[in-house]
């Protein structure tokens, strides 16, 4: 004992200050509060003793006599043992799950001892090592077999070992389960939580576990522990969902194992929900789908705001994020889940729902027209083709996904687009027309871009809308066609004012012709645009198409008439030389006409093909009308067959020359080539039946000819026989009646209707005049038929006074 004192070892029989006696009549932990209480001061036990003691809690835990309820002769766990009533009994009793409050106090005690007894433990270890050095090596004691068996004899074989009974698995405490959750051992933690829940169910009398009750409502501590553990487990599960989407690298290796544990937890909980019943099911699978949707929403919201380029740039960023995340899900996350969960479909639906919310929020804002176009195109084309088109839709369990935006929202966006396009195009078209009209009266020759500007303004809408949907394309085409028809009506009115302006006529002829040709050239592209919009649009677009075509036709006819008038003003002196005696023997007059028309054709070639063909056909028709007009007006009379032959020959030569001219000008009015040769044949033929046949052909090919025209032609050839005239005119009358002469031909096929009809002749009855006129005067054919023309009254002559 003095040696121990000299070494600083305390006497075990004498208690030191601050230490607990090894034996005591009362348990020093009887005063320890329950699980709800905490140690008052770190470093002091609740009974007031210091933590710097020799008999620490760990040493007490190894001594069986200090267990609560132990007495000599009684085994732990015998039928007389009741449940431990103190902290130490709850800690040390085997087979009993330790609560969260016990381990909270135990952790504090262990931390205090570990912090305060380090120095004393090191000092005692050094002293004991010094004693071992003084005593030398510990001698080896003989075993029991060596003591019993004499020396030199073989030792008997040891008895076979009796297998120990399997040790009962000790249930984990709440803190240990929480530690498993924090270490992401989620499947194992969930198993222990289910065991703890089963224990709580057994202790509560077999009722189904439900949501945790408030502490004041009588809920047990174990039920609260289960609820808290489930909350901690779900926090880790949903955090794992977010992390695996945010970090693509977590989908492989350790991350795949964590995702597999998440899936195992969902499978275990789904099986447990079947045992719990509908009212107590925790539905972790549904909450997992909600967590996936929340994570998808966070991912999309983080991608969209940082994108440049307005709404179109944000939609492109969303597309890239969707493809990136779905590639991670398909390649790494979905294979880690159990197959029965349908993980890929859950993630796809989560992203689809998050995207639908984002688009609905954007659609409710006041968007510009370009942003509406971008949103509709992305919704109808980009997302189905470039996102869903790359996704395996067979992986979905419940069929196809719903629409991102409701039909009402889409219709509202389309209505706003149509309204904005109607307002913007009307203002833009009027502005373009005003700018172009300001250049019409200038002397300089600037090319007109009016048609190109109008087409570009409308086509930027009519080309984008059909790419969104066919129905939206039809609505936009109808809208743009209505705006085009309104614009063309304004355009027609301004062209009419331009040509009616007296100051415009003072421009140089070349400049005026160039302006007119530029106005005509606006017609073909605008007409083609109207036809295309009418084909794309609904049937209700036909009135707008007709109005557009009518306005363009008026503009084209007006400009053609203006150009033709200018041309024939120059040609009129040459036409005045026709059907004269000099004309019969000289082609000078027709050569002047052909030369002037050929010179003007160079300027007309700047016109586009469609209006150029129409203008050349009109020039062809009008040139022949002006050629035949002096013939039918009786400027020339044929008194003999020789004269009729010469006139018919000249007519045929002029007709051939005009035909060559207009072929060179690419005229399509070939129906005019035969009119002059037919007239020449009527003059050349001598017998009445041949004349009747030729007149019949003439009336058939040119329905607008009348008997008055035929009568004037007979007067020119000198046919004054009443019977022959009646027979020839009867052919014309019969053909008129059979073909319905009341119907006039179309304007582009009219010929004789533009030639003034000569006044009818009045034939005198010869018997009435025989007694008054000499025979020599009656033989003159010029007096046989007199024109029915009232003679102007002669001025009254004053009578001479006788």
The string of pLDDT tens digits covering residues 528-549 is 999 999 999 899 999 999 999 9
- The model's confidence at residue 281, banded by pLDDT at 50, 70 and 90, is confident
CA distance 137 to 104: 44
Say whether pLDDT at 60 is over 50. Answer: no
For residue 761, list its beta bridge partners. Answer: 787
Mean pLDDT over 110-123 rounds to 49
Residue 291 pLDDT? 95
Residue 555 pLDDT? 95
Say whether pLDDT at 703 is over 70. Answer: yes
Residue 17 pLDDT? 42
CA distance 498 to 502: 9
- Identify the weakest region by mean pLDDT among 35-39, 357-361, 629-633, 690-694: 35-39
Say whether pLDDT at 58 is over 50. Answer: no
Provide the 8-state DSSP code for 278. T
Say whether pLDDT at 227 is over 60. Answer: yes
787 sits in which H/E element: strand 785-787
Which of the pair, 404 or 257, is modelled with greater confidence? 404
Residues 6+ apart with CB under 8 A from 438: none
Mean pLDDT over 15-31 rounds to 39
Structure tokens given for 580:
């004269």
- The model's confidence at residue 152, banded by pLDDT at 50, 70 and 90, is low
CA distance 187 to 195: 13
- Identify the weakest region by mean pLDDT among 46-55, 431-440, 603-612, 658-667: 46-55
For residue 780, which of 766, 796, 768 has the smallest C-alpha distance?
A: 766
DSSP letter string over 19-60? Answer: ---SS-SS-TTTT---TT---SSTTB-TTS-BS--SS-HHHH
CA distance 1 to 327: 78
- The model's confidence at residue 439, banded by pLDDT at 50, 70 and 90, is confident
Helix then strand then coil, in percent of the chain rounded to 5, is 65, 0, 35
Residues 6+ apart with CB under 8 A from 277: 208
Residue 638 pLDDT? 85
- The model's confidence at residue 304, banded by pLDDT at 50, 70 and 90, is confident
| Alpha carbon distance, N-terminus to C-terminus of the chain | 205
- In the chain, pLDDT over 90 holds for what percent of residues? 40
Cα separations (Å) of 410 from 277, 466, 761? 43, 15, 78
Mean pLDDT over 305-325 rounds to 85
Residues 6+ apart with CB under 8 A from 392: 330, 344
Cα separations (Å) of 715 from 632, 634, 791? 9, 8, 21
- Identify the weakest region by mean pLDDT among 63-72, 220-229, 303-312, 317-326: 63-72
Each residue of 471-524: pLDDT tens digit?
Answer: 999 999 999 999 999 999 999 999 999 888 887 777 788 888 888 999 999 999
CA distance 173 to 225: 10
Q: Sign (positive/negative) of CA torsion 659, 665, 670, 676?
A: negative
Residues 6+ apart with CB under 8 A from 47: 28, 29, 31, 32
Which of the pair, 566 or 786, is modelled with greater confidence? 566
- Any long-range contacts for 254-263 (C-beta under 8 Å, 24+ apart)? 255/332, 256/332, 256/336, 257/336, 258/184, 258/186, 259/333, 259/336, 259/337, 260/336, 260/337, 261/184, 261/185, 261/186, 261/187, 262/186, 262/237, 262/288, 262/337, 263/336, 263/337, 263/338, 263/341, 263/343
Measured in residues, the chain has a length of 802
Residues 6+ apart with CB under 8 A from 231: none
Residue 113 pLDDT? 43
Say whether pLDDT at 411 is over 50. Answer: yes
Residue 783 pLDDT? 36
Mean pLDDT over 230-235 rounds to 94
Each residue of 719-734: pLDDT tens digit?
Answer: 888 888 899 988 888 8
Question: Which residue shows structure tokens 């172009």?
Answer: 436
- In the chain, pLDDT over 70 holds for what percent of residues? 66
Mean pLDDT over 634-663 rounds to 91
Say whether pLDDT at 644 is over 50. Answer: yes
Residue 633 pLDDT? 87
Q: What pTM value is reported for the model?
A: 0.66
Which of the pair, 603 or 77, is modelled with greater confidence? 603
Structure tokens given for 347:
């993630």
For residue 119, which of 1, 2, 8, 6 has the smallest C-alpha distance?
A: 8
Contact assessment for residue 354 and residue 297, using Cβ atoms and an 8 Å cutoff:
yes
Structure tokens given for 353:
């729902």
Residue 81 pLDDT? 42
Say whether pLDDT at 408 is over 50. Answer: yes
């Amino acid at each position: 004992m003095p040696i121990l004192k000299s070494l600083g070892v305390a006497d075990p029989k004498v208690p030191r200050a601050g230490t607990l006696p090894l034996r005591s009549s009362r348990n020093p932990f009887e005063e320890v509060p329950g699980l709800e209480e905490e140690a008052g001061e770190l470093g002091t036990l609740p009974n007031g003793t210091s933590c710097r003691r020799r008999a620490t809690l760990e040493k007490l835990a190894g001594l069986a006599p200090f267990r609560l309820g132990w007495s000599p002769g009684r085994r732990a766990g015998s039928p007389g043992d009741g449940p431990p009533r103190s902290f130490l009994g709850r800690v040390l009793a085997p087979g009993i799950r330790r609560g969260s409050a016990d381990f909270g106090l135990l952790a504090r005690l262990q931390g205090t001892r570990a912090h305060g007894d380090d120095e004393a433990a090191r000092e005692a270890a050094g002293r004991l090592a010094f004693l071992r050095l003084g005593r030398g090596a510990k001698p080896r004691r003989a075993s029991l077999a060596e003591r019993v068996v004499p020396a030199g004899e073989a030792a008997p074989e040891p008895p076979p070992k009796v297998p120990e009974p399997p040790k009962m698995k000790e249930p984990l405490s709440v803190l240990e389960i929480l530690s498993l959750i924090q270490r992401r051992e989620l499947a194992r933690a969930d198993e222990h939580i289910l065991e703890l829940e089963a224990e709580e169910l057994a202790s509560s009398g077999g009722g189904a576990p439900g949501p945790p009750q408030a502490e004041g409502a009588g809920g047990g501590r174990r039920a609260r522990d289960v609820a808290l553990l489930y909350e901690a487990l779900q926090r880790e599960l949903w955090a794992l969902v977010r992390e695996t989407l945010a970090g693509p690298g977590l989908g492989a290796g350790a991350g795949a194992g964590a995702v597999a544990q998440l899936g195992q937890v969902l499978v275990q909980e789904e099986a447990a929900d079947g045992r719990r019943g509908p009212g107590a099911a925790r539905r972790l699978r549904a909450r997992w789908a909600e967590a996936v949707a929340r994570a998808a929403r966070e991912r999309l919201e983080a991608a969209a705001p940082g994108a440049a380029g307005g709404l179109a740039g944000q939609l492109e960023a969303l597309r890239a994020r969707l493809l990136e995340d779905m590639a991670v899900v398909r390649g790494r996350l979905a294979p880690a889940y159990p197959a029965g969960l349908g993980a890929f479909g859950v993630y796809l639906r989560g992203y689809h729902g998050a995207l639908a919310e984002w688009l609905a929020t954007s659609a409710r804002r006041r968007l510009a027209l370009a942003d509406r176009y971008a949103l509709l195109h992305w919704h109808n084309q980009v997302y189905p083709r470039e996102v869903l088109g790359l996704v395996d839709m067979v992986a979905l369990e419940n069929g196809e996904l719903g629409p991102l935006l409701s039909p009402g929202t889409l219709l509202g966006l389309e209505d706003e687009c149509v309204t904005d396009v109607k307002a913007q195009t009307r203002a833009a078209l009027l502005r373009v027309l005003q700018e172009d009209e300001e250049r019409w009266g200038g002397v300089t020759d600037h090319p007109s871009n009016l048609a190109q500007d109008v087409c570009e303004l409308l086509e930027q809408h009519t080309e984008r809308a059909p790419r969104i949907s066919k129905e939206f394309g039809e609505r936009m085409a109808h809208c743009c066609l209505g705006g085009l028809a309104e614009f063309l009506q304004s355009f027609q009115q301004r062209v009419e004012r331009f040509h009616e302006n007296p100051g415009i006529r003072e421009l140089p002829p070349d400049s005026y012709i160039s302006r007119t040709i530029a106005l005509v050239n606006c017609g073909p592209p605008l007409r083609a645009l109207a036809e295309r919009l009418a084909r794309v649009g609904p049937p209700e677009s036909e009135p707008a198409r007709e109005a557009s075509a009518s306005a363009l036709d008026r503009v084209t006819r007006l400009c053609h008439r203006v150009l033709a008038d200018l041309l024939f003003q120059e040609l009129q002196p040459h036409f005045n030389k026709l059907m004269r005696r000099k004309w019969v023997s000289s082609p000078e007059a027709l050569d002047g006409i052909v030369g002037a028309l050929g010179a003007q054709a160079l300027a007309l070639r700047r016109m586009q093909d469609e209006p150029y063909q129409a203008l050349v056909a009109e020039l062809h028709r009008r040139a022949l009308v002006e050629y035949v007009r002096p013939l039918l007006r009786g400027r020339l009379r044929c008194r003999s067959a020789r004269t009729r032959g010469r006139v018919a020959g000249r007519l045929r030569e002029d007709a051939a020359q005009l035909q060559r001219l207009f072929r060179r000008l690419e005229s399509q009015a070939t129906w005019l080539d035969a009119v002059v040769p037919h007239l020449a044949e009527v003059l050349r033929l001598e017998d009445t039946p041949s004349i009747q046949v030729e007149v019949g052909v003439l009336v058939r090919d040119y329905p607008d000819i009348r008997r008055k025209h035929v009568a004037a032609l007979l007067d020119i050839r000198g046919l004054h026989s009443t019977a022959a005239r009646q027979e020839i005119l009867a052919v014309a009358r019969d053909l008129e009646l059979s073909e319905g002469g009341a119907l006039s031909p179309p304007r582009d096929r009219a010929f004789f209707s533009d030639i003034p009809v000569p006044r009818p002749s009045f034939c005198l009855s010869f018997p009435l005049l025989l007694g008054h006129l000499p025979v020599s005067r009656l033989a003159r054919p010029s007096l046989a038929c007199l024109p029915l023309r009232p003679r102007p009254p002669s001025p009254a002559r004053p009578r001479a006074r006788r």
